[in-house]
Structure 1
Amino acid sequence: MIVAFSVAPLGESDGVAEAVAKAVQVVRDSGLPNETNAMFTLVEGEWDEVMAVVKRATEVVQAEAPRVSLVLKADIRPGHTGELAGKVDRLEQHLR
């Protein structure tokens, strides 16, 4: 499965980058395939391992703020791996 998620502290007047960086570090330290863009962090793996990473990332942000926003979108496709790059590769083939 691939999960795209965004987690951020709410009510923080000094910006969110530091707290979000801590969440992204959790994802990177997980060892699962991942990427981060301007809006979301994507992580690929099995259900339990991906959701555990999302939970830990959310918890590190929650340690920084009394309220947290979490947006999550999942592509659940059992038996498929390497889709973080594979989906983009197939799209690019149609753009050539």
Structure 2
Amino acid sequence: MLVAFALTPMGVKESVAEYVAEAVKIVRESGLPNRSDSMYTMIEGEWDEVMSVIRRATEAVALKAPRVQVSIKVDVWPAMPAPLDNKIALLEQHVAATEGG
């Protein structure tokens, strides 16, 4: 299962990096495969372990911000091993195929 989530601290200044940094640290320390970009953090794992990490990350941000919005998108694809890397690899194969011809 692959989960993309975003935490949005509300009622804070325009840049939220300092608030989100602790959440990303929790994700990285979880030991689950993960990747962060400018809008989302993605975690690969089973329901309970992924949701536990998201809960802890949200709680960490909530200690510093008066309000936190959480957006979660889940991709359940049991036949896809290591979706964090393999979904992109599959996409790149298709892009390469379109460039050849």
Same fold per superposition (TM over 0.5):
yes
Q: Distance in 1 between matches of 2:58 and 2:34?
A: 16
Scaled by the length of structure 2, the TM-score of the pair is 0.89
Q: Which moved more, 1:27-36 or 1:7-16?
A: 7-16
Letter in structure 1 aligned against 2:22 = K
Scaled by the length of structure 1, the TM-score of the pair is 0.94
Q: Distance in 1 between matches of 2:65 and 2:79?
A: 38
Partner of 1:51: 51
Q: Secondary structure at the match of 2:92?
A: helix
CA drift of 1:69 comes to: 1.1
Gaps (5+ residues) in structure 1? none
CA drift of 1:79 comes to: 5.6
Give aligned pairs, total. Answer: 96
Letter in structure 2 aligned against 1:73 = K
Partner of 2:95: 95
Q: What value does the CA root-mean-square deviation take over the aligned residues?
A: 1.2
Partner of 1:41: 41
Letter in structure 2 aligned against 1:78 = P
Gaps (5+ residues) in structure 2? 97-101
Q: Distance in 1 between matches of 2:56 and 2:79?
A: 25
Partner of 2:13: 13
User: 1:10, 1:68 within 8 Å by CA — same for their partners in 2?
Assistant: yes
Q: Distance in 2 between matches of 1:42 and 1:21?
A: 15
